[in-house]
């Protein structure tokens, strides 16, 4: 699943590519992706709206729209959660032989084109498409206040880059949890945006074992996790995310953090610090944790 760096990369791309564009139509063949409003009302309600800006809330992408760009009259929100295998792409496609063929050579690969299930047509001839192999992605649309008050947004924890997330607040949130720190870092209702990849990377940099109980961590250890979180996430955004699985940016290109990662999916390889071989263990909900048993002692 795309995590904070991947989602932020997509948001940054969309802010460069689709701002001030008007949605002129919608095509889709997987209605279950559209959770709100009723499918038969979706195109009717969103057609003709202009895109004001795109932002991230946790792992959600929020596209702000309006009927009148200059007056910014009635504001709307299009919420898109890419889930496990979703990709948001900006390009040009033509339908043919059961799939969408890219009209921009060398950008969108065939794997991505085969799984396009919704397209927003824009007034400059380009399209915003959602490609999703498993069809787990979620789309919700409606008046801004209505969407912002949904549990998907309202119940999300503080963002790692929120100025209100001081070290003191971080310690209060994390240090009060009687659960393994790996699990706590991935809890979206506490701190939003961190998933399997970056929790492993953060804990390796901080030299903390993933199964250490959060409430037993010292102030210095919590400070190390806090600082490592900032470092890892900023580096991953700079490198445009991780594509060792199937993530692609808005142009269909892979992120580069996968080449720089320290421990995630590197079991059997030597720890970057040279201490031992990286191991992989199972944690809650069939998730995995990758770590060095020497520099991340229990």
Record the tokens describing residue 194, joined without a space: 């961190």
> Is 260 a catalytic site residue?
no
Q: How many CB atoms lie within 10 A of CB 215?
A: 13
Query: What is the distance between the alpha carbons of residues 261 and 93, in angstroms, rounded to a whole number?
Result: 34
- Contact present, 171 and 66 (Cβ < 8 Å): no
> Is 265 a catalytic site residue?
no
Query: What is the distance between the alpha carbons of residues 109 and 276, in angstroms, rounded to a whole number?
Result: 38
> Is 59 a catalytic site residue?
yes
Chain centre distance of CA 178 = 27
| Residue showing tokens 């991780």 | 242
> Is 3 a catalytic site residue?
yes
Query: What is the distance between the alpha carbons of residues 84 and 246, in angstroms, rounded to a whole number?
Result: 9
Record the tokens describing residue 47, joined without a space: 């057609």
Q: Which residues contact 107 (CB under 8 A, 6 or more apart)?
A: 91, 251, 252, 253
Could you tell me the CA-to-CA distances from 223 to 143, 218, 248 in Å, in that order? 40, 9, 32
Phi, psi for residue 6 in degrees, rounded to 5: -70, -45
Exactly one of 17, 50, 56, 59 is catalytic; name it. 59
Using left for φ > 0, alpha for ψ between -120 and 50, and beta otherwise, residue 48 falls in left
Exactly one of 22, 280, 287, 293 is catalytic; name it. 287
Q: How many residues are present in the chain?
A: 298
Exactly one of 3, 6, 183, 221 is catalytic; name it. 3
Exactly one of 2, 5, 180, 210 is catalytic; name it. 2
Which residues carry out catalysis? 2-3, 59, 287
């Amino acid at each position: 699943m795309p995590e904070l760096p991947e989602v932020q990369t997509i948001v940054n791309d969309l802010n460069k590519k689709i701002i001030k564009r008007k949605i002129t139509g919608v095509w889709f063949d997987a209605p279950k992706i559209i959770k709100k409003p009723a499918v038969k009302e979706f195109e009717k309600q969103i057609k003709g709206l202009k895109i004001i800006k795109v932002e991230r809330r946790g792992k959600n992408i929020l596209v702000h729209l309006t009927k009148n760009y200059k007056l910014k009259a009635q504001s709307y929100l299009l919420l898109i959660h890419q889930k496990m295998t979703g990709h948001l792409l900006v390009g040009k496609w033509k339908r043919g032989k059961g799939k969408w063929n890219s009209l921009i050579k060398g950008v969108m690969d065939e794997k991505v084109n085969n799984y396009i299930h919704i397209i927003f047509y824009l007034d400059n001839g380009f399209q915003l498409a959602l490609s999703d192999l498993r069809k787990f992605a979620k789309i919700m649309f409606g008046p801004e206040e209505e969407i912002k008050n949904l549990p998907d947004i309202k119940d999300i924890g503080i963002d790692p880059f929120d100025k209100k997330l001081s070290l003191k607040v971080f310690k209060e949130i994390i240090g009060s949890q009687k659960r393994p720190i790996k699990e706590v870092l991935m809890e979206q209702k506490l701190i939003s945006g961190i998933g399997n990849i970056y929790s492993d990377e953060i804990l390796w940099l901080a030299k903390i074992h993933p199964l250490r109980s959060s409430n037993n961590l010292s102030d210095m250890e919590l400070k190390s996790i806090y600082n490592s979180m900032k470092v890892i996430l900023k580096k991953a955004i700079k490198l445009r995310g991780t594509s060792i699985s199937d993530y692609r940016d808005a142009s269909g290109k892979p992120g580069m953090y996968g080449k720089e990662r320290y421990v995630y999916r590197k079991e059997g390889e030597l720890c970057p610090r040279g201490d031992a071989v990286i191991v992989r263990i199972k944690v809650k909900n069939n998730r995995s944790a990758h770590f060095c048993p020497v520099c991340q002692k229990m």
